[in-house]
Structure 1
Amino acid sequence: MTSVSEGRFGRSSVPLLTPPPLTATLLTDDGVPVEAVYEPCTAGAGAPEGGAAGATAIVVAHGFTGSVDRPAVRRAARAFARRAAVVTFSFRGHGRSGGRSTVGDREVLDLAAAVAWARDLGHSRVVTVGFSMGGSVVLRHGALHRAAPRDGGPRGGGPYAGEPVAPDTPTRVPKRGRRTGRTGAHSDAVVSVSAPARWYYRGTAPMRRLHWVVTRPSGRFVGRYGLRTRIATEEWDPVPLSPVAAVPLIAPAPLLLVHGDRDPYFPLDHPRMLADAAGPGGAELWLEPGMGHAENAAEDALLARIADWAVAACPIMDS
């Protein structure tokens, strides 16, 4: 795990009730610098006696055009921090992170770096919570990065190194960007909010506008200067594992799917398709009445429920 501190906080003789946030630049396995922020639990929930080691950390994966400093992301982080420590970060091409957005493909490497950082900071239990594009990333990350079995069997695969392929997914394993052996990058539980079930969906007007932003030169200009998001010009090659194909591979890690019944981007067939793909008992599905899309639409009460689920899903295990 490589991290470089981006600044120092001033010393004070007055003890702080809550330690200040820790900022860092994380280096992904393909060499992209990613800005990240760590915030300890503000209420001590989930932290065992003797310090932070073993406490649950929630890693937040924002939606397309988001970043660590967007108000909706900060609001989610504050809500989650009442129950657990929180890591937020900006995906590549967003905020002060380097690179360009691949809209859900190589972003799985950014998430892996953030999860590994949370473990480096002493957290043995890490839950990933993703919104929209981030929701699809946490699903694929959960399928590709799996903990080694407690019986000492082989560890699950990593991105671009034997990526699992479902029969209905025209995906091949790329030669570039193979995993470099990062350890501790797996999640212990996964929460996906407002995620698509399949790629290239254009069934709603907001998604047709998003495809224009991503695929057209004029759209990418708007993305860069209007939405503060730098978008890669290359098409996916190969096409990454789809969310619906990734879901069955997440078990035995607990999985929570959250979706609003007024989501203007993805109708309810998307979360239902994901839940069906998980199989009996493979996922918990919350269909939220009146909720719109992603972190902007998630009310504080829902965020608190998600954090409670995250902490409960990762009980302290005997060593």
Structure 2
Amino acid sequence: MDEEVDEGDVSMSIVVTTPTGRVGSRVVRLLLQAGVRPRVLVRDPARLDEDTRARVDVRRGDLTDAGFVRDAVAGARSVLWVDPTPHSAADPTETSLRTAAPLVEAARAGEVARVVLLSSIGAEKRHGVGHIDALGGIEELLDATGADVLHLRCAYFFTNLLMDLEGLSQGVLTTAFHPDHPMPWVDPRDIGDVVATRLLSDTWRGRSVQAVHGPQDLTFHQVAQILTEALGRPVRLNLVSDDAVRETLRTAGLPPSAVEGIVGMAAGSRDLVPEQPRDLLTTTPTPLGGWAHAQLRPLLEG
């Protein structure tokens, strides 16, 4: 029986942030299956299942604690950085940049050799895409450190649909995105597959950018039709204006900077053509219809 890689082996030491998230949890599982014991940064270790907790190097702390982050990533060969800042945070872009600062400092000081950043399509615009602007800023900061960095610019998550289960249960898909503009959609599990593969590979150097586009570009009209078929119920599109979204978010009590950060993501993406083309490397396999039937339909039928 093969032995797991010693966690003290710096050549294979891998740090995973947000290890209980949709992408992070997939990455941790794949690393464990590859025989690597990752170092996971987690605020509440109880959120890790018992089997996982026994097999990883747990560092308990908050990613907004600069001292904790700097200590936790020190000496790592590779770090997966997933920005933990919620879109609803007060001044989310500033918070995202401040939260990433200790990682940037560690990379600049040579305490971290490689960083894989979970970025987003639109980050290449640098400005005008709401909270995504923060990811563009983090890309620039990491690029200047001299460390090996990989920016994974990910598509629109399938799981964003889970934020409106009430509307979907009534057969309504609400969006402020342009209904006829095709955009890439992706399953977070597929992102996790790409991340784990890149973390385990020792061949890439310098600055790299790779998109994770999912299997196809879809308009919101097409998404509504796919959901109609996958869910076995009619789903119609409900288009809302930026001002309507602003009013809803303000009524919910979000601060102005958070409101504009959320509105800006849709407004700045309406004419977006991703910098990285769709090709063998950027296309992942899971179709939206299959995901919706397996993951979304049981939640609506329950």
| Shorter-chain TM-score range | 0.3 to 0.5
Larger Rg: 2
More helix by percentage: 2
TM-score normalised to the size of structure 2?
Answer: 0.33
